[in-house]
Amino acid sequence: MKFSCNRQKLNEAVTNVQRAVSAKSTMPALEGILLKVKNGRIELSGYNLEIGITTSIDAMIYTEGAIVINAKLFSDIIRRMPEDQISIETDEKLIVYINSGKSDYKIIGIPDTDFPELPSVTGDENIEINGEQLSSMIRQTIYAVSDKDLKPAHKGSLFEIKDKTITIISVDGYRLAIRKENIDYKGEKSFIVPGKSLIEVEKLITGDNENVEITVGGRHIIFKIDEYRIISRLIEDEFMNYKSAIPTTQTTELKVNTRKFINTIDRMSLLLNERMKSPIKCRIEDNKIKTSCNTSLGQAYDEFEVESEGEDLEIGFDNKYMLDALRFSETDELKIKMNGPLSPIVLLPSEGDSFIFLVLPVRLRNER
């Protein structure tokens, strides 16, 4: 195998593909990137048995072939090479020769036969969605994916496609995030994608990606983003009945300036840390939100004006969970609906219904 290519393009491809490479594995090939050189292009693949990322770049090919190179070492070498062009060659003893200008490296490769075969995914029909829309949907729901829940389904996001609408749902037992968009797809599908895979999908979507193509198979899914393909296993588990968790009535409704609420909770949070956990108390009366916090470090109080309808209310909530919901709403103004001190707090956009965020309240000490 022998080729030369633009160092910057190779470095970008290696950096992105490396995200799917195992940091530590009993199989050395899983810690490497598979290079396949053929048909005037270099195909690069990383795969940790849960998620795989592949891409290809143009190159000047002298001899075709394939080899696996340790991802971290390969990435470090390419990033530090001095010239714009880089040449790579291998011999029959799996020695890899890397040259750029006056810099030369000679490292040991791994047989390409040791690299596990990436799953093949065949779907009845591909789903296309605008890249910016998908990125926004993932970003606004990924925060509610559980990283501790014993239930596998809650370590991923549920995708529901029906009536030309795609909905992404994430839940971790304390909060729920729902985000939906219209798409030009008539079919119906439901599947759960691991949160870790969705993080990598979101990272690869840039402003240049017009559409992302999704192929759903029986056990795996492919996201095609320009020259990149992300292959992920699906989570085979039953997702919670999230619709039953959404309150259908409310006794108190607010229209809130998002930034003011965030700043207020930020100020309350100065008295909170991992060891000093205490709910923020929120009193709603006289068209004001009056917040207070009491820990062994001290006390804090703040208030700001809102538009309020319905009953006065006192409710408690976790500062981090509420801050996440407010920040990921990505909107200047929110509607907040509540149905008493123990019912989930519902956050909605001031106009439309593109998202629904739920935050469970925390029981205050004076409640019985």
- For residue 87, what pLDDT is reported? 98
Which structure tokens are listed for 130?
């605008």
Q: Which of 223, 242, 261 is the last residue of a domain?
A: 242
The confidence band for 367, taking pLDDT boundaries of 50, 70 and 90, is: very low
- For residue 366, what pLDDT is reported? 63
Tell whether the torsion through CA atoms of 22, 28, 30 and 34 is positive or negative: positive
* Domain total of the chain: 3
Q: Rounded to an integer, what distance in angstroms lies between the CA atom of residue 54 and that of residue 16?
A: 9
106 shares its domain with 36: yes
Residues in the chain: 368
260 shares its domain with 292: yes
Which structure tokens are listed for 227?
């020259």
Helix H segments across the chain? 7-17, 71-80, 131-139, 195-204, 258-268, 319-329
- The angle at the Cα of 220, spanning 10 to 69, to the nearest 5 degrees, equals 30
Q: Which of 55, 83, 114 is the last residue of a domain?
A: 114
pLDDT in tens, 95-136: 999 999 999 999 999 999 999 999 999 877 899 999 999 999
pLDDT in tens, 1-29: 999 999 999 999 999 999 999 998 899 99
Tell whether the torsion through CA atoms of 144, 145, 147 and 152 is positive or negative: positive
252 shares its domain with 236: no
Q: Rounded to an integer, what distance in angstroms lies between the CA atom of residue 14 and that of residue 44?
A: 7
Q: Rounded to an integer, what distance in angstroms lies between the CA atom of residue 143 and that of residue 226?
A: 26
332 shares its domain with 256: yes
Return the CATH number at 314: 3.10.150.10
Residue 147 has pLDDT above 50, yes or no: yes
**Domain that includes residue 225, residue range:** 127-242
Task: Judge whether 368 lies within some domain.
Answer: no
Task: Give residues with Cβ within 8 angstroms of 88, minimum separation 6.
Answer: 1, 2, 3, 4, 35, 96, 97, 98, 99
pLDDT in tens, 197-216: 999 999 999 877 689 999 99
Task: Judge whether 162 lies within some domain.
Answer: yes
Task: Judge whether 364 lies within some domain.
Answer: no
Tell whether the torsion through CA atoms of 47, 52, 55 and 56 is positive or negative: positive
Task: Judge whether 304 lies within some domain.
Answer: yes
The confidence band for 150, taking pLDDT boundaries of 50, 70 and 90, is: confident
Q: Cα torsion at 194, 197, 203, 209 (round to 10°)?
A: -100
Q: Rounded to an integer, what distance in angstroms lies between the CA atom of residue 78 and that of residue 327?
A: 38
43 shares its domain with 142: no
Asked if 8 contacts 40 with a C-beta cutoff of 8 angstroms, the reply is no
Q: 3-state SS of 203-238?
A: HHCCCCCCEEEEEECCCEEEEEECCEEEEEECCCCC
User: What percent of the chain is predicted at pLDDT more than 70?
Assistant: 99
Task: Give residues with Cβ within 8 angstroms of 282, minimum separation 6.
Answer: 289, 290, 291, 314, 315, 316, 317
69 shares its domain with 142: no
172 shares its domain with 261: no
